Homo-oligomer: A and B are copies of this chain.
Amino acid sequence: MQDRGPELSIVTPLDVPGQAQLDLDRALEAILFIADEPQGVVQLAAAVARPVAEVRAAIARLVADYDGTGTSGEPRTDIAEEEASARGIRRGFELREVGGGWRFYVRAEYDTLVADFVFTQSSSKLSQAALETLAVIAYKQPISRPSIAAIRAVNVDSVVRTLLGRGLITEVDTDAETGAILYGTTDLLLTNIGINSVDELPHISPLLDDGQGGFDLD
């Protein structure tokens, strides 16, 4: 739209002709503000053309800022940093890392208040069988349907279909030997349970690793 002319002054997306260079923190704030799914740091770094490490640091500042425990804005050398210690405002929103990225959420204390304001879609709850199968897949992924069935000791076909339909699991690979489809969990599942990676799943007894030994661990 805008005539950017022949100048070569636009070096990064944070340099906008005719105005002061954008602050990294504010730029990320603006992007996250319109994003409607979690944004990974790599994506964000690409959007602002800054190193991932800087983006990570900026996000940490933003999180602290919204939590009222710190302030945000890129560290500056040109002006004295007088108010770095200022007690900030604990905002009605927060930045959370879920499903492999960062996303704005209403802060939990305000959930009840805002609930009336949003159209909350009542998604039907998963059955116990679906939850248990989901747990097996989450911990054992990638896993084939026969392997899930062996652990659950029942036919899991319809449950697997339900989980696929909900987008909570997906086909990730094919077993090289048997050709069976291998399933794994999706980022949507991570988002739905409010964690950022399967590494954040609670630890379950190491005896599951080989199905042997360690009976006393329970």
Judging by beta carbons under 8 Å apart, are B92 and A121 in contact? no
CA distance A87 to B79 in the complex (A): 13
Judging by beta carbons under 8 Å apart, are B35 and A117 in contact? yes
Is A8 at the interface (CB under 8 A from chain B)? no
Judging by beta carbons under 8 Å apart, are A114 and B30 in contact? yes
* Cβ 8 A contact of A155, one of B89, B112, B121: B121
Is A90 at the interface (CB under 8 A from chain B)? yes
Contact with B along A133-174 (1 / 0, CB 8 A): 000000000000110010001110111011001110000000
Nearest to A217 among chain B residues (CB) is B124
Nearest to A125 among chain B residues (CB) is B218
A positions within 8 Å CB-CB of B: 2, 13-14, 16, 19, 22, 26-31, 33-37, 46-48, 65, 71-73, 83, 86-87, 89-93, 104, 106-107, 109-110, 112-114, 116-124, 126-127, 130, 145-146, 149, 153-155, 157-159, 161-162, 165-167, 180-181, 216-218
